[in-house]
Chain A
Amino acid sequence: MARLIANLERYHQPVSLAEIQSLFDQTSNKIKILSGGTSLAFNRPDVSDVIDISGLPFKGCRRNVTGDLEIGALTTVGDLEEMPEVKQYANGILRQTTDKLASTPLRNLITIGGNILCGYYWADLPVALISLDAQIRLDNDPSKTFYMDDESRRGKPIKIADQSILTHIILPQKRSEYRSAFNKFARTTVDFSIVSVAISFVLDGQVIQDSRVVCGGIVPFPQRITAAEAVLDGERPDAKLFEKAGTIAAESIQIRPDSRAGAQYRKTVLAEMVKTVSFSALKESRNEA
């Protein structure tokens, strides 16, 4: 009989941040924080204590006073995709993403916070979230709110302090009506992304502004491709422009190969996807309809 964690001695199920802090203070043992827990079978961590945070109240979503959407980090992907606010936000880009993320039993376990902090390069939600200028909040403390995208660590997994808990993801009201789209390329609908792309922009008159072009599956962590954004911003959208953005995106990114696909193949797919996802963002806008 296989144990997920062979040397695990204690399993804690706190229901408040204060209780977690108390656990941190009381033990010097090796600790694993667990939310959805789907990465355990991959990682098999050698720890003596697990702190299961799935009982904390950071689930669901609400609009704050400035109109931003605050999503609890412990919301499962399965619950996230059913939220009316999420379905409507920015062309429903997050619904487009969850639609292509893992399988039904896994979506019922994976949390939005876990998908961010596990730091997998194939993770799909961070691709869409970065394209929306999403912020993360730690410890339910507004003073500990940070943009997921930060130039100083662009393309690297997000690390938080050992004794901090990711409690919220915040989507800005500003981007709620932006033209946005996500797509991924994989061997099967439930497989890891070989390449994923999210694009978000606004049309100012007939001109693209404030674009975000984000890729996943090909770099150590989903990241913006600012060179492609520079191609789009200030221009009228058409096939030639989107093709140029794709070409520039593929040229400007250092692509990592893995067992699923080589770097040159991924580069070709990325160029095509930036083009097609740009079109999707343009066409799928509710304003356009």
Chain B
Amino acid sequence: MKLEVTINNQKHTLDIHPGDRLLDVLRRDGFTGVKEGCGDGNCGACVVLLNGNPVNSCLILAARVQHQQITTIEGIGNPQKPHPIQIAFADKGAVQCGFSTPGSILSTFSLLQKNPKPTDQEIRRALDGNLCRCTGYVKKIEAIKSLLND
């Protein structure tokens, strides 16, 4: 079937199988910043924004996002022009292996879009679906708080 979807503000028409996961369709189309971790919605490595809200792309059938808006980490920034959130994560040592980082950045992006001055508790809650097994969480929270002071 044909999937018409807007990815990072650009319209795409993709050939998909109705049973395909959104995660696989995005990676197949070159958006490899979307990572597969657990594959069952627990780790958050596959998080993308669906109409601005973080969701687990490993749990979603790609067919479901027909005519909707997807944002991946590639739509937030890149090595030549990183987003301030990405710079803050790097500066504060919030990135080690980097595998879970795209999901965490997207969750942070969504949070700050809706709530530019979140409390510590709101930051922790916004990241509750993004597991990180090497950096931990303290550095990420410090990175996000550093953005609030600017």
Interface residues of A (CB under 8 A from B): 1-11, 13, 34, 37-38, 40-42, 50, 52, 54, 78, 102-106, 108-109, 189-190
Contacts and interface: CB of A to CB of B under 8 A. Distances in A.
Interface residues of B, number: 32
21 contacts: A2-B24, A3-B21, A5-B18, A8-B19, A8-B61, A11-B1, A11-B61, A11-B63, A13-B66, A34-B64, A40-B59, A40-B61, A41-B39, A41-B41, A41-B58, A42-B40, A50-B18, A104-B54, A105-B129, A108-B50, A189-B128
Q: Which 7 A-B pairs have the closest CB atoms?
A: A103-B129, A8-B19, A3-B19, A11-B63, A5-B19, A105-B129, A11-B18
Given A7-B19, A50-B18, A37 B59 contact: yes
A103 B127 CA distance: 8
Interface string B49-90: 010011110111101101000000000000000000000000
Contacts of A40: 59, 61
Interface secondary structure of A, over-half rule? loop
Given A9-B18, A190-B129, A104 B107 contact: yes
B44 A103 contact: yes
A105 B107 contact: yes
A140 B58 CA distance: 32
B44 A41 contact: no
Given A3-B21, A38-B59, A104 B125 contact: yes
A41 B61 contact: no
A106 B56 contact: yes
Contacts of A7: 19
Given A7-B19, A41-B41, 4 more contacts: A1-B20, A13-B66, A40-B59, A103-B44
A148 to B, nearest CB: 26
